[in-house]
Amino acid sequence: MYPDLSEAIKNYEWKKLEGGCHDVFLIKISGKKLIYKAKSKIPNKTKKKTKEILKKIETPIIKYFNSKNPFENIRSLDQTKQTNIEEEIINEWKKRNIPTINIIDQKKDATIFQYIKSKNFETILNTNSYESKKYRKLLDLITIINKIAEKEQEINLLHPDNHLRNYLYSEETHTAIAIDPGLVLNKENEFNTVKNKLNLFMMYSILNLKTEHKETYLKEFIDTIKKEDLEQIKFLNIKSNIYAKTYFKTRTYIISAIRKKKVTNPFQIYSEEKRKSINNLIEINRIYKNNL
C-alpha cells in the first residue's frame, strides 16, 4: 500500500526527525502523515568510510568496554540477533493493553508507524513549568510495564531502552505512550537485575534534564519503586569504569573531528555527581518508608 522509504523521500513531502540510532522521517502521502523509521542509518560517504575503519580496528575493544558500562551489559552485544524485536515487543504490549504506537507496515528499508501528534517526555519536562499531571501519566505507564513484565517474569516485556525520549505524551488522547523498544536484552541476566538497571537508566535520564524541577521528578519516580528494588538499584549504581570512560571520551572526540559534527559520548550522563544524587535520594526515600 505504501512505498519503500527510498521511494517515499523521492516522491513525497518529508521532514527528518530526531531518531537516535535510526533515521526517522515524517512523510505525507496522499494527505496522510506517516512516520518512516529506517532499518539502519542512511550512510553518507564520510560516515561510511569512518565506520569501516573503526569497525576493523575496534570491534573487540568496544565490546569489552561496553561490558563495563553498567547499562550496556544487560543488552546483547549482538543487536542483529532479532531484527524484528521492536515489532515483537510492540505486539506483546498491545496484547496486554499497554499504550504504544501502531505499526502500519513493514518495508524492506523501513518500518512505517502511525503519526501521533505528541511530544516526548524529555521535551515536555525540560521547561520551567512543573508538569505534574503529564508526568504522573508517564510514571503510571512505566509502573504498569514493570508490573506486567514482573508478573510474567518476561524480560522482553520491559522497555529495553528506558529513557524519557522513548515515551510520548499524546496531545489528542492525553495519555503516555511507550515507543522504540528496539534493543535486544541479554536474557541470560536475572529478571530483577535487568528491570532495576533499566529503572536506574531512567533515573539518569531524569537527572540529565536541564530543568530546575529534575530532582523533584526523580523523587517522584523513586517513590513509585518498591523498597527492595531501590536497595538493589543502589547496589547496582556503581562508578563507571575509568578506562571505559577515557576510551569513549577519546573516541567521541576523534569521530566528532572527522565528521565535523558533535557525537554523543555514551558515558557522559553517568557522572559521579549524578550517581551520588541518585543514591542520596534513594536513601532519603528508604528512611521515609521505614518511618511510615
pLDDT tens digits, 150-196? 999 999 999 999 999 999 999 999 999 999 998 888 888 899 999 99
Any bridge partners for residue 24, and if so which?
17, 37
H or E segment and range at residue 146: helix 132-152
pLDDT tens string 122-149? 999 999 999 999 999 999 999 999 999 9
- Number of helices (H) and strands (E) in the chain: give both, helices first: 10, 8
User: Rounded to whole angstroms, how far apart are CA atoms 58 and 67?
Assistant: 14
Checking if the pLDDT of 265 tops 70, the result is: no
In three-state secondary structure terms, 155 is helix
The overall pTM is greater than 0.75: yes
For the ranges 108-112, 131-135, 205-209, 249-253, the lowest mean pLDDT is seen at 249-253
Checking if the pLDDT of 77 tops 90, the result is: no
User: Rounded to whole angstroms, how far apart are CA atoms 157 and 64?
Assistant: 27
Strands (E), 71-222: 103-106, 110-114, 118-120, 167-170, 176-178
Lookup: cell for 73: 551489559
% of the chain beyond a pLDDT of 90: 63
Give per-residue burial for 108-136: e unless 16+ CB within 10 Å, then b. eebbbbebbebebbbebbbeeeebeeebe
